[in-house]
Chains A and B, each alone.
Chain A
């Protein structure tokens, strides 16, 4: 096997190189030659090709993501901002939290179990590399139609993968989303979120500082998995036995990840680490170039020291391998023995692979021969940046003009029809109970889960003494974003924000996972530009900064892009989780109020989607000042003990909310539809800025006066009553949800309609 070295590259400037197969454009290849003043070695070419890929370099999105910094609201809560592995937010009492979402969409389509599993593994390593103990995970998921054959292949595999990895890792899964739509059939979305906590003085960054400090690679051995396009290069470069057929999806080992978490936290707490970085996309290339670029600028690596699972790997493959469960730490020489002892205690392997230098170069040797010599910034941070052309799609106006008016889509008007619509809607795949899925995830481990699915948020306790905790929600209705990306993204932000407030927590920070089609399609790029503008403007208005995120492009099947899906995660803090507001009402006599205004807004909503397969019109109006006001009332109601329950109104409207509250409580209620609105609009509209709250009689006056003083519309629409059965003609003890004299539904029939859908499709 012959090795392409720096000196060989200098001697053979004209040797043809397979840059196109590696995904590099001719001008990108020329720029690499310009930077180096020679042709790159095959190892260097491999490094640049991966680090300059869309996934690693954000080359198409950077110019738009800049807005999150430019429009950042004034805040003193942000301890670490965008650009690190994950942003870090101050939540008080000396605690900081870090959270982030990442996509693992394409691997999960190719190999659902491992794709989803390694998605969880990757985001968890991002969190531990900040110095935080991971607290919980969540998974926003999107699949093709629930009844499609391929969805039955992908969904069970993804769910098993998330459970198989996360359960074994010992992190509670506290929420997420599961949405079905035709556009995700050939391109499901598997996003994974992790949140972790640390003391302020435990924050660690990915930087290699201190000349002479050693670079330690530890965790799983490096194998041939996840190499992807680089195997093209290996086979082109070597006169070996034909092209290497390597799987491009990584394989996860959650047991190793669990050991890696414990070992990493122990070396961090022992003060033995100067800088740390996880190995994810682009493996050792990414970790070494980023550490060097963020630090003193130089690093030397002895690549032949890397512990291998497969002794036949070429240096290019070792540099590119995306084998899971590996970490890289920068350790002072005097601490190496202590560091190694702790790693060994956890039965994890480690080896010193390099050292920090002041050369300004990242140099890599393979058995004494120099195979890489590059300025690390040019690999890690100074990749190409594109201003992709974008334009409002020619079909956008027609789509927006096709509004779901009463003339366009037939609406139920009689009591019987509306009753049947309630039962139909709560069983729609997007609105049905997701328990069949979430019951395959451990939500109890670590003993700090305060709220989890089907609550509005996932909430975990951080400090057992004080009760300090955090709440997280992720949301996005991609149909709204398709109709109007700017407004739709703000609606996603508004819904997440509202969910956090409904739980009693105060929103602090935003993360995102921006899933879109091809950036080379001007229509898609316009959606992306509008979505990022909407999110940046929205965050500025709500006063909560974006702390980090992830972009996933090329989510499309042929020419058909997915619904633009900017998943927005909002994190909130609650000073005492004991005062959290659940979605279930508590006891008879409590009063049910609807806060906010309900208008005739059905475009992009679940009723038009499920009943009529219709998508058109303008999404619901978004009023972020109203959202902020509603949020303040929800938080104040929690803090002052006025609210027994609260539930955000979004997909499926008020009908869905009342059914979920009743089913979760296990007791019925008498509700009435206000006179000033037609029953269908009242029950199914998806107007934003609304929540249903439940107030004890003793608190009613105080609560309504607060709403009046703040000019937030509050309308009483029901009372909790577990004794309605006999009056409604049912045996005593039967729980019913009654809508004045319109119709009555028993909780048994609601339960059946709500819970049977997913097991019928997937069990």
Chain B
């Protein structure tokens, strides 16, 4: 199973995402923002970081990268795509997911071990979890406040497309405590917290994040 990890200028967690793929049993394939080539991968991860320095608007420049045209087309064709943090922002800017991520309510960057509840385990990236399962993974963002209009929020909830919610503390003011969402088909997932930082006992608060990466491997085996 080959899972591509895209490096944009300013991507920071690309190495971490690749490590998580390997620990889950997949093969990580480096993809370059400037190449309109997905190298025949079976899934794509848009990693965290500050692509283009978050200039203009988080993710607003990266969505125009040559590789993104390929990602959008493949995602519309069913390719599993996970956007983590800055990757989630890029997915929203690319209109693969609805809503937007804005400045944290308290205006500070925040790095903390965050409790989440997996709300939907039907997506390509969450099927290893039990619905309702509580996990702890790191969260780190300055612009992680998920917003959308009420109709979109109602639709997301009505269609079980909220895949994870913040528990105990809402760290950034996200509406309805939303930490992650998916598209209708369930192949595209955006998540603000960082499961790739919770894949080893040694370096993470837990290994709860590994499930996102084993999920996509499962979904490929089953498809």
Contact = CB atoms under 8 A, between A and B. Distances in A.
Contacts of A442: 109, 111, 140
15 contacts: A167-B50, A168-B12, A168-B53, A258-B50, A346-B9, A347-B9, A439-B110, A439-B112, A440-B109, A441-B109, A442-B111, A444-B194, A445-B48, A447-B200, A578-B202
Contact of B19 (A440, A441, A444, A447): A447
| A interface residue count range (under 10 / 10 to 19 / 20 to 34 / 35 or more) | 20 to 34
Nearest to B197: A444
Chief secondary structure at chain B's binding surface: loop
A659 to B, nearest CB: 21
Given A447-B197, A450-B202, A577-B202, A258 B108 contact: no
Given A255-B50, A442-B140, A450 B10 contact: no
Nearest to B142: A167
Nearest to B205: A444
A763 B142 CA distance: 15
Given A346-B9, A461-B203, A444 B50 contact: no
B140 to A, nearest CB: 5
Given A254-B53, A577-B202, A440 B110 contact: yes
B111 A439 contact: yes
Interface string B16-53: 10010000000000000010000000000000111011
B50 A441 contact: no
B157 interface: no
Interface in A409-467: 438-450, 461, 464
Contact of B55 (A169, A255, A448, A577): A255
Given A439-B112, A440-B109, A446-B15, A168 B50 contact: yes
A254 B51 CA distance: 11
A447 B50 contact: no
A126 interface: no
A346 B109 CA distance: 27
B98 interface: no
A504 interface: no
B138 interface: yes
Given A445-B16, A447-B15, 19 more contacts: A167-B142, A170-B12, A170-B13, A253-B53, A254-B50, A255-B52, A258-B50, A259-B9, A259-B10, A444-B194, A446-B15, A447-B13, A447-B199, A448-B203, A449-B203, A461-B203, A464-B19, A577-B202, A763-B106
Interface centre among A164, A168, A255, A447 (most CB of B within 10 A): A447
A297 interface: no
A168 B200 CA distance: 24
B93 interface: no
Contacts of A283: none
B134 interface: no
Contact of A443 (B48, B111, B200): B111
B196 interface: yes
| B interface residue count range (under 10 / 10 to 19 / 20 to 34 / 35 or more) | 20 to 34
Interface string A311-350: 0000000000000000000000000000000000111000
Interface string A237-248: 000000000000
Interface centre among B15, B19, B112, B140 (most CB of A within 10 A): B140
B52 A445 contact: no
A580 to B, nearest CB: 9
Nearest to B19: A447
Contacts of B16: 444-447
A178 to B, nearest CB: 16
B101 to A, nearest CB: 16
A343 to B, nearest CB: 13
Interface centre among A346, A448, A578 (most CB of B within 10 A): A448
A440 B108 CA distance: 7
Contacts of B48: 445
A149 to B, nearest CB: 20
B9 A444 contact: no
Contacts of B194: 444
A497 to B, nearest CB: 24
A163 interface: yes
A167 B140 contact: yes
Contacts of B112: 439
Given A170-B12, A259-B10, A447-B19, A441 B111 contact: yes
Interface in B126-164: 138, 140, 142
A186 B200 CA distance: 45
Contacts of B52: 255
A138 to B, nearest CB: 15
Interface centre among A438, A439, A441 (most CB of B within 10 A): A439
A637 to B, nearest CB: 19
B143 to A, nearest CB: 12
A164 B109 contact: yes
Given A170-B12, A439-B111, A439-B112, A255 B140 contact: no
Contacts of B106: 763
Contact of A444 (B10, B53, B140): B140
A254 B142 CA distance: 15
Interface string B179-209: 0000000000000001011011011100000
A461 B203 CA distance: 9
Contacts of B197: 444-445, 447
Contacts of A255: 9-10, 50, 52-55
Contacts of A169: 12
Interface centre among A167, A449, A577 (most CB of B within 10 A): A167
Contacts of A347: 9
B136 to A, nearest CB: 13
Contact of B54 (A168, A439, A440, A461): A168
B185 to A, nearest CB: 30
